[in-house]
Amino acid sequence: MRPPSAESREGSLPDTKKNVCYMLRCADGSLYTGWTNDLEGRLRAHNEGRGGKYTRSRRPVTLAYAEACETRGQAMSREWHVKRLGKAQKEALAAAFRAGENTDAFSVRGGKDMTDITAIGEILIDLTQSGRTEQGIPRFDANPGGAPANLAVAASRLGAKTAFIGRVGRDSYGDFLRATLEENGVDVSGMSVDPVQHTTLAVVSLDKQGERSFSFYRDPSADVNLRFEDVPEELLANTRVLHFGSVSLTAEPSRSATLRAAAEAKAHGAWISYDPNYRASLWPDEEGAIEQMLRPLPLVDILKVSDEELPLLTGTGDLAQGSAALAEKGAKLVLVTLGPDGAFYRFGAETGRVPGVKVTVGDTNGAGDTFFGAALSQLVKRESLDALSTEELERILAFANKAAAVTTSRHGAIPAMPTREELA
C-alpha cells in the first residue's frame, strides 16, 4: 500500500500492515478518528467528500496520526480508544506522529483508559416515604441518592464507564454510599471524606401520584464542603463527559469547585452536561437561584431541564421558545423532560418530541437522572455531537424514556434503575 502524499499528512506513516487506525485533522481544526484497510484510498475519499457526513463539510483533511495494526479487530479497538482521548491528548498524539516518535493512544494517556462520564456534585441519603404504619405514621427508607451520583449509576448500569467526584461524611451513611457506587461499577477514586461534617440527608415525601417534595438537612454538610483541591485532575483530563447539576452551585466552596472542574474538563476536550435541577429550599431566593443556575451555560454542550424548570429559567413555558433561549447561551443539545409525555429536544435548528412509555408509577424519584444517564450512555459512543443525525438522537431519547419509565415503575432512585439486559 502506498503512503498518502506528503501534502496530505503531518508525519511519516509507520511501517504499515493492512489495517490502520487513523486520525484526520479537518480544515476547521477538529480531529476525526477512524480505521481502514486502505489508508490511501480512505484519505482520498474524505478529501473528495465521500468519507462521511462529518468530514464532507470540513475539507480538506490531512492525516494527523496513523497506527498500523495486526488485525481488523485491533484497528477497531484502537479507534475506540483514540476517540475517547481528550482534545489535549489527541493533539499530543498528533505531535508525536509529526515528530516521528513511535507512540500510541495508550502511551499518550499514560496507560489509563478514558472514562465515558464523570459526575461531580452531591451524594446523599434520600429518606424516601415508603408507606405508613398501622397507626398512620409515615415510614421512610434510607436510599442512596443525589442527582449526579444517580446519573453515574444509571449510565454505568447501561454499559458506560463512569466515575463520581464528591464528598461524604465520616459516618455509616458515607460508607454505605461509597459501597453502593462501587457495587454499581462507578469509579469512586474522586470521593473524599469530610472529617467534620456529616453526610447530607434529604427527606423525600410523596403524594398520591408519586410526585415528590424535598426537605434537606444540609447546612452545613459534607457535599457542600467539596473544594477543588479534593478533585483528582486525572479524572478531569481523562473523561469524555463531565456532568454536574445546580445543587452543588447553591453554596461555597462546592460552587467554585464544580465550575472550575467543568472549565478544566472542557479545556481537556470533554463535553459538559448540566442539569439545573431546582430545589427551592436550598436557595435563599428565586432570583439568586436563577442567576446561579444560568451561570454555567456558556460551558455547557448538553443541557437537560424539566418542563417545570424551563419557565423558571427562560420566562416561558413554550418548549420551542424556551429551548431556543437556552441554546442561545451555548448548549448544542437541549433536552426538556415532560414526565409521562416523554421528552422534547432542540438540536441546533431541529426540534422534536419523543413520546414517553406508559407505566404504573411507583414513585418518580430518580426518573430524570435515569433519563439523562441513559441518554449520555448512548451519546458518548458518538465521536462528535455535530455528526449526530436527528434519527439517531430520537432513537437515543426513546431508549432514555424507556429507562426512565422502568425507574418510575419501582420505588427509590438508584435501587430502581434498570440494567442493559432489562431494556434489551
CATH topology of domain 115-423: UDP-N-acetylmuramoyl-L-alanine:D-glutamate ligase (3.40.1190)
pLDDT at 105: 59
Going residue by residue through the chain (424 aa), what tens digit of pLDDT does each one get?
344 544 455 555 544 447 888 999 999 999 999 989 889 889 999 999 998 888 999 999 999 999 888 777 777 777 877 877 777 778 888 988 888 876 665 555 544 568 999 999 999 998 877 788 999 898 888 989 999 999 999 999 999 999 999 999 999 999 999 999 999 999 999 999 999 999 999 887 767 665 667 788 887 899 999 999 999 988 998 899 999 999 999 999 999 999 999 999 998 889 999 999 999 989 999 999 999 999 999 999 999 999 999 999 999 999 999 999 999 999 999 999 999 999 999 999 999 999 999 999 888 889 999 999 999 999 998 878 888 999 999 999 999 999 999 999 998 789 999 999 999 8
Give this prediction's pTM.
0.77
Omega of the bond prior to 296 within 30 degrees of 0, cis? no
- Other Cβ atoms less than 10 A from the Cβ of 424: the count is 5
- CATH code 3.30.70 for 6-108: no
Using an 8 Å Cβ cutoff, are 305 and 359 in contact? no
C-alpha cell at position 372: 439523562
Q: Is the dihedral of CA 206, 207, 209, 213 positive or negative?
A: negative
**Interior CA angle at 239 toward 236 and 243, to 5°?**
80
C-alpha cell at position 187: 469509579
pLDDT at 108: 55
For residues 58 and 403, give the distance between their C-alpha atoms in angstroms, rounded to a whole number: 36
pLDDT at 386: 83
What is the C-alpha end-to-end distance of the chain, expressed in Å?
42
- CA-only gyration radius of the chain, Å: 23
Considering the chain, tell me which residue range(s) the CATH 3.40.1190.20 domain(s) occupy: 115-423
Considering the chain, tell me which residue range(s) the CATH 3.40.1440 domain(s) occupy: 6-108
Residue located via cell numbers 420505588: 411
Q: Which helix (H) or strand (E) holds 323?
A: helix 319-327
C-alpha pair distances (Å), 149 with each of 118, 145, 355: 10, 7, 26
* DSSP track, 74-97: HHHHHHHHHHTS-HHHHHHHHHHH
Using an 8 Å Cβ cutoff, are 239 and 118 in contact? yes
Q: What are phi and psi of 187, to 5 degrees?
A: -70, 120
**Interior CA angle at 168 toward 166 and 171, to 5°?**
165
Beta strands (DSSP E) in 111-179 are 115-120, 124-132, 138-145, 162-169
In which order are the strands placed within the sheet that holds 31-36?
31-36, 19-25, 62-69
pLDDT at 140: 87
Q: Which helix (H) or strand (E) holds 301?
A: none
